[in-house]
Amino acid sequence: MENKDGHIAVIGCKRCGKCNNVCSQGALYRVDGITRVDYSKCTLCMKCVKACPNKALVYIE
Applying CB under 6 A, the residues found at the interface with ligand SF4 are 8, 10, 13-19, 22-23, 25, 27-28, 35, 37, 42-48, 52, 54, 56-57
For residues 35 and 29, give the distance between their C-alpha atoms in angstroms, rounded to a whole number: 6
CB count in 10 Å sphere of residue 21 = 9
Length of the chain: 61
Shorter beta-carbon distance to ligand SF4: residue 32 or 47? 47
Q: Shortest Cβ distance from residue 36 to ligand SF4 (Å)? A: 9
Nearest approach, Cβ of residue 21 and ligand SF4 (Å): 10
Other Cβ atoms within 10 Å of 30 Cβ, number: 14
